[in-house]
Amino acid sequence: MTTRYQAPRGTQDVLPEMQPYWQAVLDQAREVARLHGYHRLDTPMFEQAGVFEKGSGDTTDIVEKEMYTFTDRGEEHLALTPEWTPASCRAYLEHGMASWPQPVRLWTTHPMFRYDRPQKGRYRQHTQFGCEVIGSEDALVDAEVIGILWALYGRLGIRDVVVRLGSIDDHGPRRDYVQRLQDYYRPHLEKLSEDSKRRFERNPLRLLDSKDERDQPFKDAAPKLVDMLSPGAQAHHETVMAALQSAGIAFEIDPLLVRGLDYYNRTVFEIVPTEDERAQSTIGGGGRYDGLIEILGGPPTPGIGFGSGIERIILEMQKNGVSFDAAASADVYIVHRAEGSQPVAFRMAAELRKRGLSTVIGESGRSFKAQMRAANASGAQQAIIIGDDEMASGTAVLKPLRGDAEQRKVPFERVAGELGAGA
C-alpha cells in the first residue's frame, strides 16, 4: 500500500482560509514596528548550537528538552532556531552593530522550532513576531517594548488582556534571594516534581516557573523576589510601572513570574487574557537581558525584547470574534467554449492582469454551464464570455455576476480597457 504522508506532528499547513489572519498580523506587526522606529532583521533558520546553549542557558527547557540539533556534513553542531533573542544578539556582534547609533531597535517574524508537547495554539514549528532593543538600560525602553505588543493586540481586535509584570533583579543581588528560596524549598524536595528536584541546585528560580501540579502547593508561600529588590532594580521597576500607567496599559504585578530563560534580569513580563488566572495562555512575553551579549563574547551591553507566537495571536483573534469574509479568487472570470478561443482568452487575461485585475481562465474542456458555475463560485464580479458567436464577431460578452447591471458586448481589443478603467 502506498504511504499517505501527513504534516509532521506539531506542525500545520496554513490553508487559504487562514491566510487573511496571517496577513493581518504581519501587516500590523510591520506597521507597529515602523511607528516605534524598529528595523527588520532576518537571521538564519539554523545557527551554531552554542548560540542557544550558551545564550539560553543549559538548564532551560529549550536547551535540555526542546532544541532540534544536528551535525551537518562538515561536522558542525547546529540547531534550528528555538528562540530569536540569542540569534539577534549574535548578529549584533557579528555585524558590528555596537558602532551604530545606540540603541539598536530590531524586529522580525521568524519560524521557531521546539520539540514541545503539541497543543492548541502551540506547535513544534511556529512563527514569532519579535522585537529587541540592544544598547539601552533605560527603563522607558522596557515600557516601550511592552507597549508595542499592547498596541499590536489592540489593532488586531484582541481585547481583555493584561500585562503580568515582574522584576527578577540583577544577577549579583539575586544570589541572596536564591539562597532564601532554596532554604524554603529544601524541606519539601521529596514532594516536588522530578524537574524541580533537578533544578533545585542548578537553577532554583525555575521552581517558581513550574506548571507541574506537584509543585503548585508550594509556590504561593515561597519568598517573593519582587518584595526584596536591590535599590537600582527597584527604581527601574517603579519607572516601568509609572510609564505603563501613563500610557493606559493595564498591568498586574506577578511575584512568581520569572520566565524560563537564564539570561533575564530586572523586567520580565507576559501578556495573557484577563480570564486566565494561572497564566497558561500567554500570548506574548519577554524581558531584559543585560548580560546576554557578554555571554556570547561581546562587551557588557544591555538589552530587552519579546516574542509573540503568531499562531497564538490568531487563536486569540478568533476568540475575540475577529473574522474575515471569504476572499474572492478572481475579479474577472473568462468563460470560453469556441474553437480557437484559447489564445484570445489567454491574451485577454494577460492584459487584464497588467491593469491590476486578478483573472482566472475557465478550464478549456469543461462545458459552458460548468464554467459559469465556477465563475460564480470564484467570487468574481465579472464574467467574460467567448463562444462561437463571439469568436465570429470579434466581441466578448461582459456579464456582471453581482448586482443588477445588464450584460453587454465589447470588442475583444477594448475589454481590458473597459474593465481596467473601473479597477
CATH number for the domain harbouring residue 346? 3.40.50.800
Q: In terms of domains, do 346 and 234 share one?
A: no
Over residues 397-402, the mean pLDDT reads 94
Nearest by Cα to 224 from 273, 199, 258: 258
Q: In terms of domains, do 353 and 302 share one?
A: no
Residue 142 lies in a domain: yes
| Structural domain count, the chain | 2
> What three-state secondary structure class fits 150?
helix
Q: How many CB atoms sit inside 10 A of residue 226's CB? A: 20
Which pLDDT band holds residue 135 (cuts at 50, 70, 90)?
very high
Q: In terms of domains, do 158 and 254 share one?
A: yes
Residue 224 lies in a domain: no
Q: In terms of domains, do 85 and 140 share one?
A: yes
- Which structural domain, as residue segments, surrounds residue 355? 332-421
pLDDT score of 60 more than 70: no
Each residue's pLDDT tens digit, 221-273: 888 888 889 999 999 999 999 999 999 999 999 988 887 667 889 999 999 99
Cell triple for 98: 555596537
Over residues 124-139, the mean pLDDT reads 97
Q: In terms of domains, do 246 and 393 share one?
A: no
Q: In terms of domains, do 121 and 254 share one?
A: yes
pLDDT score of 54 more than 90: no
Residue 313 lies in a domain: yes
Q: What is the pLDDT of residue 145?
A: 97
Q: In terms of domains, do 114 and 254 share one?
A: yes
pLDDT score of 154 more than 60: yes
> Which residues lie closer than 8 Å to 214 by C-beta, 6 or more apart?
191, 192, 193, 196
pLDDT score of 210 more than 90: no
Pick the last residue of a domain from 319, 352, 369.
319
**Least confidently predicted of 58-62, 82-86, 384-388:** 58-62
Residue 387 lies in a domain: yes
Q: In terms of domains, do 157 and 246 share one?
A: yes
Residue 247 lies in a domain: yes
Q: How many CB atoms sit inside 10 A of residue 270's CB? A: 23
Q: In terms of domains, do 76 and 49 share one?
A: yes
pLDDT score of 58 more than 80: no
Residue 219 lies in a domain: no
Q: What is the pLDDT of residue 77?
A: 96
Q: In terms of domains, do 347 and 392 share one?
A: yes
Is-contact 135 303, C-beta < 8 A? yes
Residue 200 lies in a domain: no
**Least confidently predicted of 56-70, 156-170, 261-275, 339-353:** 56-70
> What three-state secondary structure class fits 107?
strand
Residue 11 lies in a domain: no
CATH number for the domain harbouring residue 303? 3.30.930.10
Pick the last residue of a domain from 319, 350, 382.
319
Which pLDDT band holds residue 279 (cuts at 50, 70, 90)?
very low
Q: In terms of domains, do 395 and 372 share one?
A: yes
What residue type is assigned to position 388 of the chain?
D
What does the alpha-carbon distance between residue 207 and residue 192 come to, in Å, rounded to a whole number? Answer: 9
Which pLDDT band holds residue 218 (cuts at 50, 70, 90)?
confident
What does the alpha-carbon distance between residue 335 and residue 386 come to, in Å, rounded to a whole number? Answer: 6
Q: In terms of domains, do 312 and 361 share one?
A: no
Pick the last residue of a domain from 319, 354, 380.
319
What residue type is assigned to position 366 of the chain?
R
Is-contact 360 319, C-beta < 8 A? no
Share of the chain above pLDDT 70, in %: 96
Rounded to whole angstroms, the maximal C-alpha distance in the chain is: 95
pLDDT top residue among 130 and 264 = 130
Which pLDDT band holds residue 59 (cuts at 50, 70, 90)?
low
Which pLDDT band holds residue 280 (cuts at 50, 70, 90)?
low
Measuring CA to CA, how many Å separate 7 from each of 113, 115, 143? 15, 15, 39
Q: Is 394 left (phi over 0), alpha (psi -120 to 50) or beta?
A: left
Predicted TM-score of the model (pTM): 0.88
Nearest by Cα to 25 from 326, 315, 330: 315
Q: What is the pLDDT of residue 404?
A: 85
Is-contact 302 287, C-beta < 8 A? no
